[in-house]
Structure 1
Amino acid sequence: MHAAVRLLTIVTLLLGLMAPSVFAANVGFEEVKIPNGAEAPLTAGIWYPTNAPATPHVLGNFTQTVAADAPIAGNRLPLVVMSHGGGSWYGGHDDTALALAHAGFVVAALSHAGDTFDDQSRVLQLWRRPAQLHGLVDYMLDKWHGHAQLDAARVGAFGFSNGGFTVLVALGGVPDLSTIAPFCEAHPDQDLCEALEHAGVDLHIGANVPADAWVHDPRIRAAVIVAPAFGFAFSGARLSGVRAPVQLWSAADDRHQPHPYYDEAVRDNLPHAPDFHVVANAGHYDFLPPCDARLSRPRPEICSSLPSFDREAFHEQFNADVVRFFEATLR
């Protein structure tokens, strides 16, 4: 009898360890301003579990069902910080943020000043992005009004395109930006290089970037990296400092960052093999949420998919896989 009781106790404890950190009915949301030294404050969006009633709210070109500025439900909550792609903003992956928040995570996404839809003035000052992401983690763990309900030992990061580059640096990568100019000289017709030329960006910047410009954040314990930009800038030696587990995503029909210079370069040079996913028939922008008419008309280049690709169905699976990865690695 005593043995049976002990066994039941052990099973109960194990189930408790395996269970989500919080059971909440809805997702709360708020926008915050984060101090950024002498520059203007950074803007971030934060999604989190709540038991408050949720209603539809417009967020950019999307509508999300959230409880605005509601109380946070739960304690010792894991945190995932998000870094968007070039020319985007903090709401660029709102469906993934919502999925993580429904699963019990707090998600904080940053608008990277100088590389947003309304400000591309510092698009190739790539070292600014990891420093900004580091500041977001600082803010969330130390100054956010809900910081006492976070578990500082369970911090993850999600990054797409330029955001994937950003997260690789945060994990310990040290890119060589001097590779950008010769790469684009050899591949002038690639979308990335054409976009940089169209923006009038000087590609010869790598030699003037000191090694200590790249800010790492050892508090980040796991990362989802999606179609990372400038993958060719990371050799094996320059990714040797990455120790955290990585889930890496690649679009099989990525014409913006064509194979094998981006995702494959990262996959092959990480010191530990990532959880690697190749999505058949997907293009680069299929990792962005499905568009509605408000975005499809002005931005068809990021909203169009191949006729054989169901972006909505893919995102249901993608978000579920991202949630499972962080649940497994941020225990």
Structure 2
Amino acid sequence: MRAHSNPAFRVLPLVMATACLALALPPAASAAEAGFRQMTVARAADEKPAHFALYYPTAELARAIPMGPFPQTVAINGAPESKFKGLIVISHGTASTELGFATLAQALARHGYLVASVEHVGDTWQDQSMRATPGRYFAERPRQVSRVIDTVLADPLWSSRIGQGSDGRPLIGAIGHSAGGYTVLALAGGKPVLSRLRAHCEAEAALDPVLCGLSHGIGSASAQAGGTADGQEEPVQADPRVRAVMALAPMGVAFSPPSLAAITVPVALYAGEKDTFLVPRFHALWVMQNMRGATTTLQLVPNAGHYAFMNTPTVDLPSPDGSVAADPAGFDRAAFLDRLAQESVAFFDKNLRQQ
């Protein structure tokens, strides 16, 4: 991992950070297996049904279960353990799926966390209708995550097991990839400015071509639809229940610098060195440079592409930036995901336990 430094925060190389956390923390409780259930978000009658995948610690035996291109090794409907360290929500990228982060979700569950992986209705592989209304897109993605948190906390089976901080509130963290990286940073307080995204693509489309191809005309479309004026932040609601965030290859260029500077929760940023979907210099590195109030780290993963943070699908899934299954030559995605899973456990153990 390459480490980047800035006087505003501390950055550690990945291996060094893992070692330091391991020394600083007592051994994490680890259940034998990861349980799995699918749940539905309570929504208005005229809205599309929304689902999420729930992973949790269980003593029951896990089996390899085919689930489309992302098989899971889980105990379907296994009995949950009596206590969870906290709740971690996962937000997938655009046109993706809630099942694509099996290694991360299952590792967190085996180490004592309840994990809710969100299906972003209107921005899945089956339905991208939400992208037609940019202002709604940027506001609705974090809102959908908050609805999943509401649903879990309203269910006594799960809410009674979630660990609490010294303030008596549930310990909740979030992980997001790509547009999900935007989503979890928005939950932490980041605010997008659509005219910023438009100006970026007018100036840098040749250097950030995949994103700019997807977002062509997004700023003007918002204005025509009665959205916010140029330079104004979108009215996106943060969720103060989220206490720590991991943003993986985040879409970051649209955020206003003051909103990033105002984020106070711990943030771990990751980016693939060879990401051509969301070029790090315009996104993850730019976010890092504008974070001032939070404990922030950035890991630039050598030789990694945009999809290094997802499990490798069993079929060749197309995307705006090539196959989701493809990696740069020589990159070992499985080994990296195992290491990232350990990092995620250590990150949330440290930053949720301190609260």
What TM-score do you get using the length of structure 2 for normalisation? 0.81
Deviations 1:5-30 (A, max 9, x none): xxxxxxxxxxxx9343x442111100
Q: 1:297 to 1:19 in 2, by over 3 A?
A: closer
Q: Distance in 2 between matches of 1:82 and 1:259?
A: 21
**Aligned pairs (5 A) from 1:1-331:** 18-20=26-28, 22-37=29-44, 38-123=46-131, 124=134, 125-143=137-155, 145-151=157-163, 152-189=169-206, 190-197=209-216, 202-207=218-223, 208-209=227-228, 213-229=235-251, 231-271=252-292, 272-292=294-314, 295-296=315-316, 301-331=323-353
The residue identity in structure 1 corresponding to 2:210 is D
User: Conserved in 1, the CA contact under 8 Å of 2:317 and 2:324?
Assistant: no
- Give the 3 Å change call, closer, same or farther, for CA 144–161 of structure 1 in structure 2: farther
Equivalent pair of 1:49/1:73 in contact (CA under 8 Å): yes
Matched residues in 2 for 1:314 and 1:327: separation?
A: 20
CA gap of 1:248–1:298, structure 2 versus 1, over 3 A, is closer
The CA deviation string for residues 240-290 of structure 1, in whole angstroms up to 9 with x for no partner, is: 331110111011111111241101111011123512111001111112112
Aligned to 1:13: none
Counterpart residue number, 2:12: none
State the SS of the aligned residue for 1:122: helix
Residue pair 1:83, 1:110 contacting (<8 A) in 2 also: yes
Contact 2:94 2:124 in 1 (8 A): yes
CA distance in 2, matches of 1:92, 1:103: 19
* Distance (Å, rounded) in 1 between the aligned partners of 2:194 and 2:350: 34
Deviates more, 1:266-275 or 1:115-124: 266-275
Deviation, 1:321, is: 1.0
Report how far residue 62 of structure 1 moved: 2.2
**Count of matched residue pairs:** 308
What is the deviation of 1:140? 1.2
User: Given the superposition, is the C-alpha separation of residues 23 and 286 from structure 1 closer, same or farther in structure 2, using an over 3 Å criterion?
Assistant: closer
Structure 2, unmatched stretches of 5+, are 1-24, 164-168
Give me the whole-angstrom Cα distance separating, in 2, the residues matched to 1:144 and 1:279.
Answer: 40
Distance 1:273 1:206, change over 3 A: farther
The 1:285–1:243 alpha-carbon spacing in structure 2 relative to 1, beyond 3 Å, is same
- Structure 1 vs Structure 2: percent identity of aligned residues? 32
Consecutive unaligned residues in structure 1, runs of 5 or more: 1-16
Check the 8 A contact 2:245/2:267 in 1, yes or no. Answer: yes
Higher relative contact order (CA 8 A, sep 6+): 2
Residue type at the aligned position of 1:170: L
